A and B are shown apart, each in its own frame.
Chain A
C-alpha cells in the first residue's frame, strides 16, 4: 500500500512543474531568521558562513532558503560599476588584447568589491548562491541566458545578458533569480534599493520563461514543452510585482497584438493568492494620455483571474495590467476598425 502511494506521488510529481508551492508545508520563518541573525557576516570565510546559515536547519529547502535570503538581503547591486564595464567593453571591442586585459582586471575588481563591500552585479549574486549552496552540500548551478525587462532593447539581445540559478532540492530542479529578488534600480540615478521579491524564489518555470531564456535550453526545466527563443522574445513583459502576484500567465500569449474594435480580448492569470477584484486596473496608454479602467474581473475557486475586455476606440495602445497600484504586465494592442 505504502509503495502504491509512493508510486502515485511520483507519477503525480512528474506532471507538476517544480515551484515554491511544492514546499507549502514548510514554514520558512526559521530559515529567514537564521539569515537575519547572520546579517553582519562578511564573505572572507564562505565555508563558515555556509555553516552558520545552514547547520541549524533540517531540510535542504530551508538551508537553501537561508542562503537565498542572506544573499538577497545583504549583497547590494552595483549597477554603476557594471555600466563602467559596458563602456570599456565597447571601447576595446576591436582590440582583443586590451579587451582581455580589461576583462581580467574587471573580474578581479568585481570579486574584491564583493569581498570588501558586499556589492556586485548579477553574475556575482548567482556565483555566491552557487558557492554557498555547494558548501552546504546542495546541488546548485549558475544559469546564463537572456533576460527581458520593460527597458530591454530586444534588437540588441544577441548575446546572453543575465545570470541566475538552478537548484536541486529533493531530487527536483528549481529556478530562482537572486539579482531580481534583491531589489530595484532607480533608472534615473542608477541607485539600488533593497526590496526583497519572493516571486523569483523557486519560481514556476512556465512563468519564469516569459523573461528568462537560458542559453542551454535544458534549464528551462520544461523539457519538450519549452518555447523557442522567438516565443520568448514575443512574450509579454512581466514585472517584478507580476512574479509576486501571479503563479501563471495564460493570456494574452504575446506582447504585440492586433484586434478589431469591440472584439473580446481575454486576460487570464493564475494568482498566488486571492486578491480583491477592486484592486485590478487596466491602464490604456495612447502615447499622450492614459485612461484607467476598472475591468470588473472574475476570480474563480482555483484563483484564476479572468478579464473580458473590448476596446471601444481604434488606435495603438500600451496596455498595462495593474494590481494595487503595481505594474503586473504590459502588452501592446493595435485596435483596428
Chain B
C-alpha cells in the first residue's frame, strides 16, 4: 500500500517534469494563463537534482494548502512545519533512502522515500475517514428501572 503511494507520487512527478521540459524545448508557449501559472509555480520550486539534496515542497488537502503539517525525518526528531501557504523547506540536506514523514492530526500519515533526483515534494494528505464516537467509563453502579420507584 505504502509502496504504491510512493510509486504513484514518483510517477506523477516524473511525468510532470517530462511534460514541462517538453513544453520548454518545443517552445510551445501557450497563451493560456492557467498553464502559464502552473508552469511558473513548478519552475519556482524545481531545484537542480545533481548538486542539491535540499528538499522543499508543499502539503495540501483536497480543499487547499495545509499550514502547520509536520514534515519529519523518520527515526529522528528532526522536523519542520509547513507555513501558512502549506510550504516547507526541510532544515537538513537529505540522502537517497531517507524517509520523510508527513503528518497532521486528523489526516493519514504519508511516508516518502527520498530518491536521488527528489528535490520538490507535493503532498496531498488524505483525511482520516473516521466517525466521531464516544463512550466513557463512569464509576456508577447499574440500577434497574423499577415500577413505582
Contact = CB atoms under 8 A, between A and B. Distances in A.
B133 A122 contact: yes
A184 B139 contact: yes
A162 B136 CA distance: 9
A134 B78 CA distance: 18
Contact of B141 (A127, A185, A320): A320
Interface string B33-76: 00000000000000000000000000000000000101011111
Contacts of B134: 79, 82, 85, 121-123, 161-162, 179
A47 B79 contact: yes
Contacts of B106: 107-108, 110-111, 127
Interface stretch (B24-32, B115-123, B124-132): B124-132
A103 B81 CA distance: 26
A68 interface: no
Main secondary structure of the interface of A (DSSP, over half): mixed
A90 B101 CA distance: 38
B77 A152 contact: no
Contacts, number: 146
Contact of B77 (A45, A77, A107, A330): A45
Contacts of B128: 127
A84 B143 CA distance: 26
Interface string B137-149: 1111111101001
B114 to A, nearest CB: 15
Given A131-B103, A134-B109, A185 B138 contact: yes
B130 A135 contact: no
Interface of B: 68, 70, 72-79, 81, 101, 103, 105-106, 109, 127-128, 130-144, 146, 149
29 contacts: A44-B68, A46-B103, A47-B77, A47-B101, A48-B72, A48-B76, A48-B77, A48-B79, A51-B77, A55-B75, A82-B132, A85-B132, A103-B132, A107-B132, A111-B105, A121-B133, A123-B130, A123-B132, A150-B138, A150-B140, A151-B140, A162-B133, A179-B135, A179-B137, A180-B136, A240-B139, A285-B143, A287-B146, A318-B141
